[in-house]
Structure 1
Amino acid sequence: MGTYRKMSNTVVGLLFLAPALLFFVLFIGEPVVATLYLSFTKYNVITPAKWIGFDNIKHLFADDRLWLTYGNTLKYVLILTPMHAILGLLIALAVNRNIGKGWKYLYRTIFYFPVLATSAAVAVAWQFIFSKDFGILNFLLSKFGVSPIAWMQSPQWVYVAVAIYSFWKFIGNAFLYYLIGLQSIPAALYEAAEIDGANKTQRFFSITLPMLSPTIFFVLVTTLIGATQIFDEPYLITSGGPGDASRSVNMYIYEVAFQHHEMGYASTLSLSLFLIILCVTVFQFSISKKWVNYERD
């Protein structure tokens, strides 16, 4: 009877897991296996895939344009990751102060609403904002004596333009994670520290940061992965220009796959990006034990 009940529970459990497993196999597992296979082939969708061994990998290491886009992607990582991680925390700290619930709801809506807006639609508006001759941003800067800036035509300023757009569009994600983390910290800890004579700075470094470290770690991991896979911002705002100055690896993969129809080589590029993200993420988890605090007692 016990064995039958155990088998019955196992079958029921598998039935509950079946939809998720089916989804994983069809939409994650199968594409990963197909990408791995196609990376060793020459395939343009129209004709059958032709096995070419390691030729795509050799092409990858000799592709100067790929390494240029990897350099651009690294710039995005170095700009966007600390920007979202730090500014998102500062905004959450400001909103989490002793203000009324109504104001907190309002600020939450203001900062998170852009995340819900369609990227393509708002990008059109931001292209007008960044326009050198007719943009509202240059108009406002001109009131302070600043000459018109070629936001989308200058190799230096395109990263500033992408960072401004990314801040407006996606800072709400980090902000909301931090705000939830801050509100989950027991108020009794702050009360005890205040009784012991700890000032605001001491309470922040002794209570807030350690208790918020799991959230900070989560934001860093997800933001870094998002910055490494960046596509929407440069594609919609700068189209990768001028030239290839702001073209990311994901944009290059898209170009190779859907404009040049080199699906085999695009698969190899995708795997290279996947391996880099995997290594960076594993490294982040390996060092997280030294500073992330999961204790709540």
Structure 2
Amino acid sequence: MSNAIVGLLFLAPALLFFIWFIGEPVAAAIYLSFTKYNVITPAKWIGFDNIKHLFADGRLWLTYGNTFKYIAILTPMHAILGLLIALAVNRNIAKGWKYVYRTIFYFPVLATSAAVAVAWQFILNTDFGVLNYVLGKFGAGPIPWMQSPRWVYLAVAIYSFWKFIGNAFLYYMIGLQSIPEPLYDAAKIDGAGKIQIFFSVTLPMLSPTIFFVLVTTLIGATQIFDEPYLITAGGPGDASRSVNMYIYEVAFQHHEMGYASALSLSLFLIILCVTMFQFSISHKWVNYDRE
């Protein structure tokens, strides 16, 4: 038996799993995007009508605009603040305390989103929320976090930071601890200061982790659903409604599965193009040399 056949046999369970649970739904979504289907009656082939509707759907482009705002806010927030927190925890802290801080920052990721969202709705409440109470002590007036289009993105960002910053933090911690210590020793012998060490050793060696965090965070921000759905319900109006929320509404409230499939494919193509672009330029700044 050839090595190729043996390799395929070992891969077969994973391939079958992929085809059944990922490949088949994707193929079904592509087919349904050219149909009119409401779950109850059989799908009716309508050609490119859903695609035409997609380009003429003003509400869709509004939700895409909201999603791009989430990308602009959440991606740098998680990528940069996660790195700063990891650097602070990793620097001159006893090993035992590092485990404590790791647990503190990562625990919210494990908590159920719906449960903690209820608590955050009370925290962000305009009239009796804890956050407005604290800000009031410093002379700030009550802020309508969830009622004003001006503040709603900040409210979602605050919740997202508390809930999901642990992901980026943990990746950065793993990346920092995998950097060979002799590199730091060599830099110190050469007379490099802390800032020089950071930009000449830490940042280049951490670039694969930074790239991974940027890719996964950007994909997560593009697919954002939990935060606006649980905190603001997409409001006020459609001010904080994301594309994923709109797809959910079209599919499970209006029961337009065909059009929802077309919307899903448009989101998939955007994520695919952005991710491919990130990989295409990664060789210019990502360093995989550990020697």
Which TM-score bucket, shorter chain as reference?
over 0.9
Partner of 2:224: 230
Aligned partner of 2:77 among 78, 83, 106: 83
SS of residue matched to 2:14: helix
User: 2:103 is matched with which residue?
Assistant: 109
Q: How many residues align?
A: 291
Written as runs of structure 1 = structure 2, the 5 A alignment for 1:220-259 is: 220-259=214-253
**Equivalent in the alignment of 1:260:** 254
Q: Which residue number in structure 1 is paired with residue 63 of structure 2?
A: 69
Q: Shift of residue 12 of structure 1?
A: 4.1
Q: 2 CA distance for matches of 1:17 and 1:289?
A: 29
For 2:180 and 2:7, how far apart are their aligned partners in 1?
36
Is 2:120 aligned against 1:126? yes
Deviation at 1:15, TM superposition (A): 3.2
Q: How does 1:21-100 map to 2 (within 5 A)?
A: 21-100=15-94
> Which amino acid in structure 2 is aligned with residue 254 of structure 1?
Y
Distance (Å, rounded) in 2 between the aligned partners of 1:171 and 1:193: 31
**Counterparts of 1:65 and 1:267 in 2: how far apart (Å)?**
16
1:154 to 148, 154, 164: 148
> What is the Cα deviation at residue 16 of structure 1?
2.5
Which runs of 5 or more structure 1 residues have no equivalent in the other structure?
none
Looking at structure 1, the residues matched to 254 and 230 of structure 2 have their Cα atoms a distance apart, in angstroms, of 20
Q: Residue in 1 aligned with 2:285? A: 291
Q: Which residue of 2 aligns with 1:172?
A: 166
Letter in 1 for 2:188: E
- 1:188-227 to 2 correspondence within 5 Å? 188-227=182-221
CA RMSD of aligned residues (A): 0.8
Paired residue type of 2:134:
L
Superposition deviation, residue 11 in structure 1: 4.5
SS of alignment partner, residue 142 of structure 2: coil
Once the two structures are superposed, what CA deviation does each residue of 1:31-77 show, in whole Å capped at 9, x if it has no partner?
00000000000000000000000000000000000000000000000
Q: What TM-score do you get using the length of structure 2 for normalisation?
A: 0.99
Unaligned runs of 5+ in 2: none
